[in-house]
Amino acid sequence: MTYSIVARDPDTGELGVAVQSHWFSVGSIVTWARPGIGAVATQANAEAAYGPRALDLLADGVPAPDALAQLVAADPGGPSRQVAVVDAAGRVGVHTGPKCIAQAGHITGEGVSCQANIMASERVWPAMLDAFAASAGSGTLTFRLLDALDAAEREGGDLRGRQSAAILVVPAEGEPWRALVSLRVEDHPDPLAELRRLVRLHEAYGLAGEADELLNAGRHDEAAGLYVKASECVPDSHELLFWAGLGTAQAGNLEAGVAKVQRAIALQPSWRELLPRLPAELAPAAPDVLARLAAGS
């Protein structure tokens, strides 16, 4: 009831899985990944246990095809499952059981597998692989996975329509819980468009998070530039606009900074109340911005 992709980026070692389905909260079932270990998509008559069990086998050094074969052989429901696994070496294992509902199938490439069931067309999974391959070298793994999902939808996607989507991308190494991107659209009339919006928002707040760390280190001018960049990514966010305004003022352009803060306050008046509460070490420009706002009121 789903189309999905699992893949490894050969340049960065990142591992990821992305999915769309006419099923509520598909990401809570299908998407599994662990830094430096692998990524898994488990769908059709989905058994979520394939995710952690496959990752455990990969962590023990079992190659992806062998790990999946072991799990399918031990599963009485194997004929109705569809599961794909990619490991940290780029090896791929994929299974589409004979009892999966048509149109159902899969296709693999170097370090990638695309799979789908109950599709409008058997062109869905090849189109996903083509889109993923076409974007090689031109984008991050996150956006390449999203491109593959969009390609599936252009070929008709899930026969029943659209409802939820998810993406999970993990780094080449790190603690088991660490993720670069972990986003879900649980229930939405256009889940792929919403997922892309969330990815853009995630990137913007990632920049803001980096800026926060720079502030904590006393590197205010560097932080200011990142706050401005974050706000430019999502111009309708009054939160990012507020911090971008303080950053702009800190960088020496008080007038432009005040203008940004004023726009943020117009969107959310409580920013005006927060401004005098900010400690000097967090927002050195806040007193000047506040004074300019008071003078203009």
Tens of pLDDT along 12-25? 999 999 999 999 99
pTM: 0.92
User: Per-residue pLDDT for 140 more than 80?
Assistant: yes
Asked, for residue 243, whether it belongs to a domain, the answer is yes
With 90 as the cut, is the pLDDT of residue 224 above it? no
Query: What mean pLDDT comes out for the span 135-163?
Result: 93
- From the list 201, 191, 94, the residue with the least C-alpha distance to 150 is 191
pLDDT per residue over 104-136, tens digit each?
Answer: 999 999 999 999 999 999 999 999 999 999 999
In a domain, 197, yes or no: no
Q: What is the dihedral of CA 10, 16, 22, 27, to 10 degrees?
A: 180
Task: Report the CATH number that the domain containing residue 107 is assigned in CATH.
Answer: 3.60.20.10
DSSP 196-261: HHHHHHHHHHHHHHHHHHHHHTT-HHHHHHHHHHHHHHSTT-HHHHHHHHHHHHHTT-HHHHHHHH
Residue 175 lies in a domain: yes
Number of separate domains in the chain = 2
Give the Cα separation of 50 and 285 in Å (integer).
52
- pLDDT confidence of residue 219: 86
pLDDT of residue 297: 61
Q: Which residue has the higher pLDDT, 282 or 34?
A: 34
Statement to judge: residues 138 and 227 lie in one domain: no
Whole-number average pLDDT of the chain: 95
Q: Which residues of 27-48 are buried (b: 16+ CB within 10 A; e: fewer)?
A: bebbbbbbbbbbbbbbbbbbbe
Q: Is residue 124 part of a domain?
A: yes
Q: Does one domain contain both 9 and 115?
A: yes
The arrangement of strands across the sheet holding 31-34 comes to 31-34, 38-44, 81-87, 92-96
- Structural domain of residue 214, as residue ranges? 204-296
219 and 184 belong to one structural domain: no
- The answer to whether residue 149 is domain-embedded is yes
The answer to whether residue 236 is domain-embedded is yes
CATH number for the domain spanning 261: value is: 1.25.40.10
- For residue 227, tell me if it sits in a domain: yes
* Least confident stretch, 53-67, 162-176, 275-289: 275-289
